């Protein structure tokens, strides 16, 4: 189930994004980025419609998925 990012409070959205970007295996290429930079990049992707938040009610987890 997709959750519109605009419906989340700033605190919850930040927590969802931070959890996503800190997952093991999340790669950003050859450069190292700070947590704040990664969060800003993902937030911009959400704002542009390039990514969506997907909530799985069975596992009660959120995932960020690239929109194609």
3-state DSSP assignment of residue 60: coil
Q: What is the pLDDT of residue 14?
A: 94
Q: What is the pLDDT of residue 24?
A: 65
Q: Given strand 61-66, what is the order of strands in its sheet?
A: 2-3, 51-56, 61-66
Q: What is the pLDDT of residue 1?
A: 93
**Is the pTM for the entire model greater than 0.85?**
no
pLDDT in tens, 19-63: 998 886 656 566 788 889 989 999 999 999 999 999 999 999 999
Q: Are 57 and 3 in contact (CB under 8 A)?
A: no
Q: Are 67 and 51 in contact (CB under 8 A)?
A: yes
Mean pLDDT of 2-21: 94
Q: What is the pLDDT of residue 46?
A: 97
């Amino acid at each position: 189930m997709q959750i519109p990012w605009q419906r989340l409070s700033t605190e919850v959205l930040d927590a969802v994004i931070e959890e996503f970007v800190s997952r093991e295996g999340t790669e950003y290429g050859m450069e190292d980025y700070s947590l704040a930079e990664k969060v800003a990049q993902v937030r911009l992707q959400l704002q542009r419609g390039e990514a969506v938040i997907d909530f799985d009610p069975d596992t009660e987890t959120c995932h960020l998925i690239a929109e194609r």
